[in-house]
Chain A
Amino acid sequence: MSELLKVPTMAEYTAQGKQPEVLFWVGCSGSFDDRAKKITKAFVKLLNKAKVEFAVLGTEESCTGDPAKRAGNEFLFQMQAVTNIEVLNAYQVKKIVTACPHCFNTIKNEYPELGGNYEVMHHTQFLKTLLDEGRLTIEGGKYKGKRITFHDPCYLGRANNVYEAPRDLIRKLEAELVEMKNCKRNGLCCGAGGAQMFKDAEKGDKEVNIERTEQALDVKPQIVAAGCPFCNTMMTDGVKAKEKESDVQVMDIAELIANAQDL
């Protein structure tokens, strides 16, 4: 299937004297994490299907600096930011889409002051636009009638007030969208943010991802939909810890849409 993926780089576009419609910022997780790479590919399949002229930075991409900033290392963050902004500006990038809410938040909110001004979209927002413009059709397929609950990523939801784009897409799958006790602006964190992903939790009586997974399992979903590679990992681990992996899948919204069309 990989031969079907068309993933041009910015360097290739520039060599042809062309400018893509949008830059796909893959992010560290989307580039290296085995589970997240599947999300990346699913999103690329959708971009290919909708004939979106996009490009990636490839080896010129580097960590946005989000985990460093939230761990308190402002130096490292700004070094990363300034380096990335130099690359992006050299390619005259105007519009960026990413499947990672942390990259989304950082580039959208924290880069402008450092000289990086772009229109930044989360992949669920971008897919929603493609849908509205008639460039992409979404059909329920195998997800028709399935019970799906959506876990709001903190950095998409509360941090940036994006609640509806992912939900609209789930509804388009003709699935039954069920909401957890804590959702939207009251959504409970998966436990990965603020650089927690990279360390053990402090002493307590429970892991945050278990708490959140229990909230999800309470509404008896067949699928927990996520919109963030880190949430995806946390919720997948949570479902495993609760020994529910045979009944409940954790899937990114891009994967749901791509799978529904057997891409």
Chain B
Amino acid sequence: MAIIPNIIFAILLALGVGFFAKNVKKLLRNIKLGKDVDVSDNTSQRWKNMAMIALGQSKLVRRPISGFLHVVVYVGFIIINIEVLEIIIDGLFGTHRIGLNVLPSAVYGFLIGTFEVLAVLVFIAVVVFWLRRNTLKIARFWKSEMTVWPKNDGNYILYFEMVLMALFLIMNATDVHFQELNSGNIISQYIAPAFSSLSVSTLHLIERGAWWLHIAGILVFLNYLYYSKHLHILLAFPNTYYGSVKPQGEFNNLAAVTKEVKMMMDPNVDPFAAAPEGSEDDVPEKFGASDVQDLNWVQLLNAYTCTECGRCTSECPANQTGKKLSPRKIMMDTRDRLEEVGKNIDANKGVFTDDGKQLLGDYITNEELWACTSCNACVEACPVSIDPLSIILDMRRYLVMEQSAAPVELNNMMSNIENNGAPWPYNQMDRLNWKDE
């Protein structure tokens, strides 16, 4: 019968990991709804970006206070999770603190001691985060796109981390054997006296309870990620790898347009010649993006990676001067629409069925799109290499090339360029007049 806890543990673990895997599959499928884009270039620069920006958090620390706190939570959380390895082995094989059997007790004590110190640091950082978020009224956490769920989501994960850290320390404090060892209980030795009046068997119950809740909590946490902005814990890595390695000012040239322009300019091409059978020309290309499927998969990965931190929006000149545009909202809208499309596909046996909605109009308005100055401040500010500007540009392309829906003044500007090669109504033949004025 002693084997029953091990079986329960194995089932719990399989369920937790299995459900997570299912959601990851869904996530990948949704991201693959995006168009293909070539990201095979500059691999060494890409690895470097990932190491610096995701692992090294180089962009986060540009805001020193929140950056420092984040590094504490991040490093602490990753290192403490090494402990999970021990928990899993113990859980599956019915051992207790297997680490003590395989490591010299001084080494084991050092490891657990480090985890305990980190647990306290993480706990403190998380409390400060909570205070910043809820009592300091930091503007970027209170913008209009921060509706009920995004606000709660931000807090839930903080509670989660507080509870997990507390459970870890309680588990150690109530482990009589571990306390007797007196190696590695740097913090928990001060918590242990709080339980000293309890009997050994009660202590054991508390210890077991904390142990089970800790591992269950971690599995729940893992599965909560998919429904939360905290996916960035995982996606920050691929996202910084696939992020742009070009100068920020360089906007992509649409290949489909290049083809048509070359054809128009080349006197040798017969514009009426039929396209060869089976070529892409059979499908009329749609220019720009009106829905998530028109974006490329890196842009969709961007949307899932967004941490909703609002650094982009707080640097955005349009947002700073009261315009509706918020680059964070562009990313959140893209993700929410993509989730909606994914659910639609699930509900309709794997095929998307028109729901009369799209990203443009139902989520993102023309007014937001036209307020952008293409200044790249959002791109520069993002700690995980997200490019909201590329989505804005692709949607403008749709508005202009598919709908001719540019503001009147822009249409005037464009017809001037078309007719006389300048955005103003001046004659190209007068271009050198300044010389003699």
Chain A residues within CB distance 8 Å of chain B: 2, 5, 7, 9, 26, 28, 30-33, 37, 40-41, 56, 58-59, 61-63, 65, 67-76, 78-80, 82-83, 86, 105, 109-110, 113-114, 154-155, 158-161, 185-186, 188-189, 191-208, 210-212
Contact = CB atoms under 8 A, between A and B. Distances in A.
Nearest 6 Cβ contacts at the A-B interface? A159-B249, A194-B374, A72-B396, A205-B322, A62-B421, A204-B322
A72 B289 CA distance: 11
Task: Give the dominant DSSP class at B's interface.
Answer: helix
Given A198-B423, A204-B322, A208-B317, A75 B376 contact: no
Given A68-B414, A158-B376, A198-B409, 8 more contacts: A32-B434, A59-B430, A67-B414, A67-B423, A72-B400, A189-B375, A199-B409, A206-B322
B321 A205 contact: yes
Given A32-B422, A198-B423, A73 B401 contact: yes
B406 A32 contact: no
Contacts of A201: 321, 323, 371
A145 to B, nearest CB: 32
A114 B255 CA distance: 10
Contact of A200 (B373, B409, B413, B426): B409
B410 A105 contact: no
Given A74-B397, A159-B376, A193-B374, A198 B253 contact: no
28 contacts: A2-B435, A26-B431, A26-B434, A28-B423, A31-B434, A32-B426, A67-B413, A74-B253, A74-B401, A75-B401, A78-B261, A79-B264, A80-B421, A105-B249, A109-B249, A154-B249, A159-B248, A186-B377, A194-B372, A194-B373, A198-B423, A199-B410, A199-B413, A201-B321, A202-B324, A206-B321, A207-B321, A211-B320
Contacts of A208: 317-318, 320-321, 373
Contacts of B367: 202-203
A41 B297 CA distance: 47
Contacts of B395: 72
B393 interface: yes
Given A73-B414, A76-B418, A109 B323 contact: no
Contacts of B426: 31-32
Interface in B245-275: 246-251, 253-254, 257-258, 260-262, 264-265
Interface of B: 246-251, 253-254, 257-258, 260-262, 264-265, 287-288, 315, 317-318, 320-325, 367, 370-377, 379-380, 393, 395-401, 406-407, 409-410, 412-414, 417-418, 421-424, 426, 428-437
Contacts of A200: 407, 409
A105 B250 CA distance: 7
B321 A204 contact: yes
A68 B317 contact: no
B429 A59 contact: yes
A189 B410 CA distance: 20
B431 A58 contact: yes
A160 B373 contact: no
In this complex, which of A33, A59, A72 has the most chain B Cβ atoms within 10 angstroms of its Cβ?
A: A72
Contacts of A30: 434
A210 B431 CA distance: 31
A9 B432 CA distance: 9
A78 B255 CA distance: 10
Contact of A71 (B323, B377, B414, B430): B414
Nearest to B266: A82
A161 B250 CA distance: 12
A191 B379 CA distance: 17
A82 B266 CA distance: 11
